[in-house]
Structures are given as structure tokens and as C-alpha cells.
A and B are shown apart, each in its own frame.
Chain A
Amino acid sequence: MRPVAIVGAGMIPFGRRDDDNLMDMLAYASLNALDDAGLGDKGVQAVYVANMGAGMLNHQMSVASALVDRLSLLPAAAESIENGPASGASAIKNGLLAVASGYYDLVLVVGGEKMRDVSGWRATDFVASMTHPTAEYIYGITLPGMAGMFTRLYMQKYGVTREHLVQVAIKNQEMGALNPYAHVESRITHEGIVDSWHSRVNNPPVADPLHLYDVCPVSDGAAAVILAPLDRVKEFKKTPIVIAGFGQATDTHTLQERDDPTDLKAVTLAAQQAFEMAKMKPSDIHVAELHDAFTILEIAESEHVGFFKKGEGAKAVEQGKTKLGGQIPINVSGGLKARGHPVGATGVAQVVDIVWQLRHELPKERQVQNAVNGLTVNFGGFGNNVLSFILRRGDK
């Protein structure tokens, strides 16, 4: 396999985008990435589109075929990738393999989701459709419900407290408030969501022990990257970001079948594969985007990828180790918690945020100084299909 780099990255602001349909959003993000690469509309040989729910949410299928035409990229190859909330990272992996194999030189990967076309409860039901149909879904489980039970177990086993979750929420919304691409742009305070008795209205329980501000919003959004072989990066204007490693692993569909439901084995395995391929270790990573659809997941994933020992992720949050300027800044974009979670877009958006970090392009209040290596975790299902990437700043 030949090494592959990201030579273009683009995103559109996440949120509620009433005026855009799914194809608009995918096109805008793609054009932003193509512009970023200085590529125009020439040369893309293949397009991979990550999307989880256009068929259910927007009554549209074959979005990749539609997008290549919309972007005038014909006759480029085009495929849609659906892998739950890990669709974005899956699409990048497929694009990466296509370039690494030598079959294609220039690949566009774009992920997007238009979730706000439906009501909140339909969106929640749509996401729940990835649970086991006869063992979970039929009993009314939702992803917040699963995360609530997971959180309770994690609290019992590792001593995580609600205070730790609150600190993750405050940190990520603080960063989201600085990110023009974030869905949730408002800061929250400890007083407003915990201390004041008014917080019972501001921050009501969603799935005990998780509260409103522990949960990511339902968002519209799209993000895109352009992949090229490392030996062609000099043709592009921006600092190349090398995909140094990647990993993917799966776990049981139902949580109940796992020996220990608090053990996110697929996260551990995916990260281990990525570290092995990149010939790095967790301490080599300068910035990370973890899949914090729920605040507990940031803490749990930070342990499972190896940044902290099991049971020490919460203490790391308490000590400020995961803040900007800390030992390992996590979700400096605001994460899913604040940037938002348009499911098909998320895995690509995480990579785009790391690309911007490693190029040192962000304003100083969000830039991790001298960042060279970054890691992402895109968490599908409830940890039953997980991908991780390690990116490294390349030489221009």
C-alpha cells in the first residue's frame, strides 16, 4: 500500500439548515474541500459519500450518483457508504484503500446528513433503528437510553460522577462557542446547569443519569476531504496531512451479549490497529476528536484508546488534562456535543477538524500549539463498529 495524504478539507456550518437539502449540503462541503485543495472540478476519479439515513429521513437514495452529477464530476466512480454513525470514517477508509491500492489518485470523500427534516422524536427513532430489531428496538430502546444505562454502569465501576460529565459538557460547549462551524454556539455554566435550583428546567434529565446537556444535538451538516497519494502532494497548495494509521473493529450487536458492557472492545482494537500502523503510541498524539455523542463517551473512549488507564479518564477531566493546553486536548472543535452530530457527516468532520489543527490554521483560542499528530474515533452503533484514524502533519 502506498501512503495517502489529505490534500483538501472542507465543512459547512452544522446546525439546522432549513434552506438546504441534503444534496445542497453535500455539494457545498465538497466544493469547499475542492477549493481548499485548489483542485477545481477536475481530476477527481472517485467519490465516496457517507450517509446513514437519506432513505428514511429525506426519501432519497443513491446520493453518491446524484452528487457526482450535481458537482459535474462525471464520469467519476461514485458510491454511497452506510455504516451507521461511523459512516463518515468508513467512507474515508474506503477512499483511503482505493488510493493506497494505486487504483485511484484523487478521491473525494464527503459525509452528510439532513436530520432536521423530521421531528426530534422521529430522528431519535431513526437512530434507534440501528439497534437489534428483536432484542432491543422492539422494547423501545433509544441511543440516549443505552447511553444512560452505560453511564450508570460506568459510574458504579469506575467512580465517574455527574460532576465529571458536567465538566465535559462545559468544556465542549466552551470550545463550540469558539467554532463557527458548531451547531451549539452558547457557553454553559456550572451554576446554570447544576448549582442553581433553576437548572431542573435548564438541564432536565433525558435518560438517567444523563441530562439535556450531556447529549449531542440533532443536526444537519456535511464535511469533505480530498485524498491523494503522498507522492503527489506537491501539486496542492496546503500542507499535506498524512493518514499515518487507521483501524476498524466490531463488537456484538446487543450490549447484553458483551462480557462487560463497560468494555468498549472495538474502540480499543481500532485504536490499537491505528497506533500499530502509524508506529505511534498514545503519548505521541497531540490532539484528538472523540465521539462524544454523550459526555460519558468522551471519558470512556479516552481510556479505551489508551490516553488514560481504565477508570482514570474522569480524573483527567477533573485535572484539566483534556482541555486546550492540557496533556491531550480532546474535542477542541466542541465535539459532537457542540459541533453537532449529523450522523453521516461526523466521522468526516472529525478528520477535517484534525486536519485544520495539524495545519495550524485555527485561531489561537482553538489551536493546539505545534500539533503534529492527531487521532479520531468514530463510534458506530453503541460501539459495535468503530473506526480510528491517526493523522500526521506532513512536509510541504
Chain B
Amino acid sequence: MPIDLELESVLRPPEVSMVPYPPKVVTLANGKQMVVREITREDVPRMLEAVRPITTYERDYYDIVASRVYAELLAWYRWRIVNEFCLIAQIDGMLVGLVNSRMLNAKTGMSLHTLTTDRGLRIGSHMFAAKMEHHIEYLKQEEVLIVAESPIGFRRWMIEYGLEPTNIPHELGGALSFRLSKELYYATKDRLVVGDRPVPKELLDKAMEDIIVVDEKTVAQKICGVKGR
């Protein structure tokens, strides 16, 4: 698509440079090794391919979450959102989850979404924790504003972390935000944030080699279950 560079320079929001998130590896309950790492803007088309089919699954608000993630990642790819980052989870190269978020300003993070496609292994908990870890420990922010779009998210984030309610409308639909302060993060870190660094070379190479996206039918089964008559 042709771009008017002069106009584009006006439309593109200014960005600050963000320190990278160092990859880590997490051992899941089934013994598998899950690599958590940050992706770059260049990886976004692959992520859009992975997220697009999920926009049709109503279960647990996957449709809303996936639609918004799709829009947020696309906006990042095409320079229409400021200071966004995306962390992904891979098992043997296979994409099993992602989180995205952004810096509202130097002090405050704005948590966007957590989306997992392999369920029942607390991958979402690990990924949400990684997102908070990035905001507080690496981006050195004081707080993160969070909302949940599904009851599962509410139970995971608001209850498990004991997040503080606020009167600040969140940019995801205007619901009132909950806050993870730096103090609360460090108070819960031992219980909720895990992972080993550095990631063994073989594991990281496998993850970096390709982001494998499972076919739509498999994703549907993983998200919606396969229980029939």
C-alpha cells in the first residue's frame, strides 16, 4: 500500500525504546519445557495467522480476546499503537500462548491480553506472570493496570494476585482497572513467577527457528474440547 511518508510521520505514534525481555524456560506439570520469549514486529504476520481462527470461538470469551489481540498486533505491525510488546510461549517450537501489553508511560503499564491455546497446564498463569515480570523488572515500571474479560481471567489475575481495584478506566472497553503495584508484584513473585535463565541453546534455537502454528481443527479442539456424545 503506498504511503505518504509526510503524513505517516504524523500518524505514527512516537515510541520509546524498550529493553528486551530475556527469554526463559518453564517446566510444565506434564514435564514439557515451555520457552517464553519476546517476538519482534517482523513476527507479527505469523501471529496473526495463529490468532485469526480463534476469533470465532465464543467459549470463555476467546472471540473477544482473539479479535482484540488481532487488532492490537496488527496495529503494532503497522505502527498504530505505541510501545506494545508481545511475549509468546512455545513447546518444541509450537505456539501455545501469547501475552501482549504496552507502556502507557514510563511509570505505568497497560496490560492488554493473555491468550493460550493449550489448556489445563496453567500456561496462562505462567504467561501473565511473564508479562508482569517484564513490566516491573525489566521495563522498571511502578504499576500495571489490568482488566479481565473472562471469569477465568478474573479468577487468575484479580484473585490469585490479590490485585487492587482502582477507579481508573482501562483502555480495553473502559472497565475499571485493577492495579499490580511494584510492591504487590514482589510480594507475590515467589509464589507466581517462575522460569529459568538462560534458556539452553538447543531449546532456544528450536523456538527461534520457527513459530509453529497448529491447524485450525486442533486449535478448536484444544480450546473448545472434543467431548461429543
A residues lining the B interface (CB < 8 Å): 12-18, 28, 32, 119-121, 184, 186-189, 191-193, 196-204, 213
Does B54 lie at the interface of the complex (its beta carbon under 8 Å from any beta carbon of A)?
A: no
B120 proximity list for chain A (CB < 8 A): 184, 186
Q: Are B121 and A202 within 8 A (Cβ)? A: yes
Q: Are A120 and B27 within 8 A (Cβ)? A: no
A176 to chain B minimum Cβ distance, whole angstroms, is 12
Cα A55 to Cα B31 with chains together (Å): 41
Q: Are B191 and A192 within 8 A (Cβ)? A: no
Q: Are A201 and B227 within 8 A (Cβ)? A: no
Q: List 28 A-B contacts (CB under 8 A).
A: A15-B225, A16-B225, A16-B227, A17-B227, A18-B224, A28-B229, A32-B229, A119-B151, A120-B155, A121-B155, A184-B120, A186-B29, A186-B120, A186-B121, A188-B30, A189-B29, A189-B31, A192-B31, A193-B29, A197-B194, A198-B26, A199-B29, A200-B191, A200-B194, A201-B125, A201-B191, A202-B122, A204-B191
A202 proximity list for chain B (CB < 8 A): 27-29, 121-122
State whether A13 and B121 are in contact (beta carbons under 8 Å apart), knowing that A196-B27, A200-B194, A213-B29 are contacts in the complex.
no
Q: Which of B5-54 contact A (CB under 8 A)?
A: 26-32
Going nearest first, the 5 A-B pairs with the smallest beta carbon separation are A189-B31, A192-B29, A202-B29, A196-B27, A198-B194
Cα A341 to Cα B91 with chains together (Å): 30
- Chain B interface residue count, Cβ-Cβ cutoff 8 angstroms: 28
Residue of B nearest to A221 (CB): B227
Q: Are A191 and B31 within 8 A (Cβ)? A: yes
Cα A15 to Cα B31 with chains together (Å): 23
A119 proximity list for chain B (CB < 8 A): 151, 155
B229 proximity list for chain A (CB < 8 A): 12, 28, 32
Cα A212 to Cα B195 with chains together (Å): 20
Does B129 lie at the interface of the complex (its beta carbon under 8 Å from any beta carbon of A)?
A: yes
B32 proximity list for chain A (CB < 8 A): 192
Q: Are B29 and A188 within 8 A (Cβ)? A: yes
A267 to chain B minimum Cβ distance, whole angstroms, is 30
Does B126 lie at the interface of the complex (its beta carbon under 8 Å from any beta carbon of A)?
A: yes
A120 proximity list for chain B (CB < 8 A): 155
Apart from the given pairs A200-B190, A201-B129, 15 other A-B contacts in the complex at a CB distance below 8 Å = A12-B227, A13-B228, A121-B155, A186-B29, A186-B30, A186-B120, A186-B121, A187-B30, A188-B31, A196-B27, A197-B194, A198-B194, A200-B191, A201-B26, A201-B191
Contact flags (1/0) for B189-228 with A, using CB distance below 8 Å? 0111111100000000000000000000000000011011
B59 to chain A minimum Cβ distance, whole angstroms, is 6
B191 proximity list for chain A (CB < 8 A): 200-201, 204
Cα A114 to Cα B80 with chains together (Å): 45
Q: Are B194 and A192 within 8 A (Cβ)? A: no
Contact flags (1/0) for B121-137 with A, using CB distance below 8 Å? 11001100100000000
Q: Are B30 and A189 within 8 A (Cβ)? A: yes
B116 to chain A minimum Cβ distance, whole angstroms, is 14
A194 to chain B minimum Cβ distance, whole angstroms, is 10
Residue of A nearest to B229 (CB): A28
B192 proximity list for chain A (CB < 8 A): 201
Residue of A nearest to B31 (CB): A189
Cα A316 to Cα B27 with chains together (Å): 29
A17 proximity list for chain B (CB < 8 A): 225, 227
B27 proximity list for chain A (CB < 8 A): 191-192, 196, 198-199, 202
Cα A17 to Cα B32 with chains together (Å): 27
Cα A196 to Cα B91 with chains together (Å): 17
A15 proximity list for chain B (CB < 8 A): 225, 227
